[in-house]
Amino acid sequence: MKTTHHGIVWVIVCLPILAGLLWATAAGQDAVPMNQAARRESAVREARQAEARAADARDRAVREAQIQAQAAAQPPMAKPPDEVKQPDTADKDKDKSKDKAKDKAKDEAAVETPKRPPADPEALRIHLMDGSLISGKLAAKEIVVETQFGNLTVPVPSIRSFTPGLRSHPKVEQNIGELIEKLGSAVFSEREGAQKALAEMGPTIRMQLERAANDSDTERKSRIKTLLDECDQIAEDAEEDAAVARALIDRDTVETTDFTVVGKIVQDTFEIVSRYGALTVKLSDIKRVEREVIEKEDLKKVVTVDGAQIIHRGMKDSGIRLEKGDKVTVAADGTIQMTPWGNQAVSSPDGAPNYGWYIPNRIAGGALVGKVGNSGAVFKIGSKYSFTADRSGTLQLAVAMQGDYANQQFPGEYKVRINVKRK
């Protein structure tokens, strides 16, 4: 009975084991064909992927060949730098300011016209007392000057100029003395006429006026003071040419290349060889003789006048020295913002009456103005103006403005082109 019981137990235990073995055997037989199919599919996929990779490689090779062919057909390009430092905003603004300053300096640089041929080194200009002018050469080879130390012989080629004094012009000396005397005349018309005649002589008679400055006659003394003041003003703002402005002294003056001689020129007459032939001139008829100089060159310059250059704050020095008789042409453009009338209000160099007046009904606010010398009269330039300098001095520029607005800000600038034709 025990044997039977143990047999039943063994069967119960072994049956699941036998069943598992049988299932595993059946499953193994089914897995063989499934693994083979998976391997075939995997091989197909790998073949297709290899074919795709090969196709991609062929396409890349074709594209690279096309790119190389195009590059060979084009000119070589410069290789860009490995690293370019980009300037910041402050650097850019600084560079712009420098460029603007350079452009402004370039604009304001004077441009001279081509130089003319030099003058004949032997040629002289002879200014006569009647106002006429002769150009030529002295026939004499030398001039003898009598001085307190003896006679001095000066070769003509060494002479730069000579000016006969009042003793060589006795009539002129006498005339000046008579005119000064008439300044105290009891007749008003004589006083006025004498003062006018002496004023026309200008600084040349300053020494004679100074000698009579302390005259006991009140009327004469007052008028002489007025004449001396006029001489001072002319000397400061309206330098004449040497033939006119040089003061008259008693004795003759000879200026050489090395020194100046004061005395009496012995020769009473001079023969001048000119293109019209030989001329004989008396020493008493000569006002001044000077060496020919190279003619002054014409000048062109561009000057910038900004809105801060309001006339009440001072005028801008153009850097151009004008001589009396110079012909000047000025053209200007640009705009300045007339801030008291709003941000949209602007003025051209001509100015406009709606911006007020610097000089009522003559010079409007915003207009470009100028003057010659420190005490010259202010005149309107506008966008275009031509004039002949009536005095010598530096050309000054500014923006005209009504006094009420002189302390305001006026952004902008005028560009002024100046052309000077020397006399």
Using one digit for the tens of pLDDT, what is the confidence trace for 85-119?
445 555 555 555 555 555 555 555 554 444 455 55
User: Does residue 205 surpass a pLDDT of 60?
Assistant: yes
Question: How much is the pLDDT for 52?
Answer: 66
Evaluate whether 248 touches 166 at the Cβ level (below 8 Å). yes
Is residue 81 very low, low, confident or very high in pLDDT (cuts 50, 70, 90)?
Answer: very low
State yes or no: pLDDT of 404 exceeds 50.
yes
CA distances from 125 to 100, 322, 341 (A): 47, 22, 58
| Mean pLDDT lowest among 5-19, 77-91, 254-268 | 77-91
Indicate the average pLDDT of the chain. 79
Least confident range from 99-103, 311-315, 342-346, 367-371: namely 99-103
Task: Choose the weakest-confidence range: 115-124, 160-169, 218-227, 319-328.
Answer: 115-124
Answer whether residue 353 shows pLDDT above 80: yes
Report the SS3 class of residue 247. coil
Which pLDDT score, from 0 to 100, does residue 365 have? Answer: 95
pLDDT reported for residue 238 = 47
**Percentage of the residues of the chain whose pLDDT score is greater than 90:** 45
Joined tokens for residue 160? 């730069």
CA-wise closest residue to 201 among 162, 222, 173: 173
Q: How far is CA 300 from CA 318, 320, 350, 380, 388, in A?
A: 12, 9, 22, 20, 16
358 close to 352: Cβ distance less than 8 angstroms: no
Q: CA distances (Å), 38 to each of 27, 33, 311, 387, in order? A: 16, 9, 102, 108
Alpha helix stretches (DSSP H) within 108-217: 170-182, 188-201, 206-211
Least Cα distance to 248 among 192, 174, 181, 310 occurs for 174
Across 60-69, 106-115, 247-256, 385-394, least confident range: 106-115
For 57-68, the pLDDT digits (tens) are: 666 765 666 666
Longest CA–CA span in the chain (Å) reads 190
Q: Look at residue 71 in the predicted model and tell me its pLDDT.
A: 54
Banded pLDDT at 229 (limits 50, 70, 90): confident
Residue 330 pLDDT exceeds 50: yes
The token duo for 57 is 């490689």
Mean pLDDT, range 167-192, rounded to an integer? 91
Residue, of 65 and 11, whose pLDDT is higher: 65
Q: Which residues of 175-199 are buried (b: 16+ CB within 10 A; e: fewer)?
A: ebeebbebbbbeeeeebeebbeebe
In this model, does residue 34 exceed pLDDT 90? no
Q: Tell me what pLDDT residue 203 has.
A: 80
Domains along the chain? 124-291 (no CATH), 299-421 (2.60.120.430)
pLDDT at 243: 40
